[in-house]
Structure formats: C-alpha cells, structure tokens
Homo-oligomer: A and B are copies of this chain.
Amino acid sequence: MNNLVSIKQLQPEQMIALVKRAAEMKKDGIPRLDEQYYISNLFFEPSTRTKTSFEMAERRLGLEVVPFDAGFSSALKGETLYDTVKTLEAIGLDALVIRHEEDGYYEKIIGKTNVTIINGGDGSGQHPSQSLLDLFTIYEQFGSFEGLNVLIAGDVSHSRVARSNADALTRLGANVHFLCPPEWKGEFEAIHDWDEMIETCDVVMLLRVQHERHDEEMAYTKEEYHERFGLTVERERQLKEDAIIMHPAPVNRGVEIASELIESPKSRIFTQVENGVYVRAAIIEMLLHGRNGR
C-alpha cells in the first residue's frame, strides 16, 4: 500500500493490525525508521490537533519534516493541487499529509505521483487517521468491536468522522446508530431522542457543531442544542458503567457536551488525542516500509 486516503481501503484485519501496532508503540515507544525520509504536511484548513499530532509522530519516527505554509503558498497564485504535489515530488519529498476542503481531492492525484499521500481530511469526506485513532481508543476499552453499540451524535451530515467511522465500525461488527436534529441527518437514518439509546450504548461518539460550516442561521441556541441534543450531566449518569465518551475535538464546551464531562472518568477525549500520535506513527511506518520495498 502506497497511500491511505480512505478507511474504506482497509480490510478489517488491516485495521486491526494498525490498531495493534499503535498499541505496541504506546507501550514500547515509537522506533525510528531505518532510512531518512522527507515528509511535508499540507494543511489547507486550520488544524491544531491533527497537524501537530502528525508532526509529533513524524519527528518520533525520525523523519525530516519540510514545512509547507498553505496560507502563503503558490496556491495563492492559482496553482492546482496536482501541480503542487508534482512540484513537491520533484523536490524530493517522500510523503505528503494533505488536508483540503475539497471532497475527494485525492482522486486527481493518486496514481499520478510516486509520493505517498496520507489523507488528513477532505471536505465532508474521509479522515482515515481519525477513524483509526477512534478504533484504537475503543479497542483499548473493549478489546473487540463485535456487537458494540456505538451512538454517533451531532452534526452528522457535515462530519468526516461520522462517515468514516460508521463504515469502519460496521465492517468490524459494531452496531452504529446516529442521533441528530432532524434537519441535520443528511443521508443517514437517525434518531432524535437520547432516551432511545442512552442506557444501552457502549460508546457515545459526539461530533462538533461546526458553526463555521452552517451558513444558514442555526435553528437552536447553544443552550437549546445542549438541552435537546448534547450530552448533559444528567444523561451521562444514565450511561452503562463501562461506557465511554468520545469527541474528535475541538469541543464546543456546553454545546455538544457539558463542560464538566470533558475530563470525567468515562471521557476518552484526551486519550483520543494521545492515541492519535501512535496511530499516525503506525500508518506512516506501514506506508514508508512499503515504499522501501518498491
């Protein structure tokens, strides 16, 4: 495998293998790669955790990270992403992590370049390293996915996470359900009332209300949203004892989740961030080892 652009590329056993490799790295440390590789992170949308997480994974693996400032690049002069990628290939980059607002931007690139492409998120599409860190975090808690009840709650139709995770979890044997305001369900079937699932779900996966993507007026105030569709302190008390709470962050405190729950015992929100570094190291290791063997 030379690229990872979508979780759909991975068979269940490949997902499990990556999760197990990440778990090994978390236990024993991230080993440096044998050869010197050059990587660059092309983030055309703002990001703290995904970008910094990749930067950390890359450094621990011993890669040289060549900076790329999307906000100050030739993209401003109208250069296409394809031409930017071909340019970076000519400069000698081995791999690129790309986040771009266009759905499926990678379709124009894959197969036309020898640079390894890792999708760091495209539009409302795929975000495979986020999916894998979520899988890792669930696996750490339950040791398997078979029969788990996962409730994905929030801005379902705009979320990269909902799409990627629902697909992966279903293929791994989990039962995935959605909860959202009726007008946000998009292509998904969804429930609109926490009471239907709160006592039976094993994983509550909250999504960010993406204010920046809602052009229209939001139909709810923050307080109304929290009351009807957020994880309130009251709802959290109804969860099963070993249930866990996840969120891809950044969190809108007091909107999709009560502020005091973020660092509560059931929350895995900062564990997800921690796990992200190991999952990304495992992904890069797998892809660049593959590169060696070409």
Q: Which residues of A contact B (CB under 8 A)?
A: 38, 40, 43, 46-49, 52-53, 55-56, 59-60, 64, 66-80, 83-84, 86-93, 208, 211-212, 249-253, 262-263, 270-271, 273-274, 276-277
Contact = CB atoms under 8 A, between A and B. Distances in A.
A250 B60 CA distance: 33
Contacts of A252: 78
Dominant secondary structure of chain A at its interface with chain B: helix
Given A59-B64, A71-B71, 13 more contacts: A38-B59, A47-B73, A48-B84, A48-B88, A49-B91, A52-B68, A52-B88, A59-B66, A70-B72, A77-B212, A87-B249, A87-B250, A90-B271
Contact of A43 (B48, B72, B274): B72
Nearest to A273: B90
Contacts of A40: 52
Contacts of A270: 86-87, 89-90
Contacts of A67: 55, 67
Contacts of A52: 40, 66, 68, 87-88, 91
Contacts of A74: 46-49, 249-250
B87 A48 contact: yes
A181 to B, nearest CB: 20
Contacts of A271: 90
A66 B50 CA distance: 13
Contacts of A70: 72
A46 to B, nearest CB: 5
A77 to B, nearest CB: 5
A87 B49 contact: yes
A71 B87 CA distance: 23
B273 A91 contact: yes
Contacts of A83: 249-251, 253, 262
Given A59-B66, A72-B71, A251-B83, A46 B274 contact: no
A10 B120 CA distance: 44
A262 B73 CA distance: 20
Nearest to A252: B78
Contacts of A249: 74, 79, 83, 87
A49 to B, nearest CB: 5
Given A48-B87, A249-B83, A274-B91, A38 B66 contact: no
Nearest to A49: B87
A168 to B, nearest CB: 22
A73 B46 contact: yes
A28 to B, nearest CB: 15
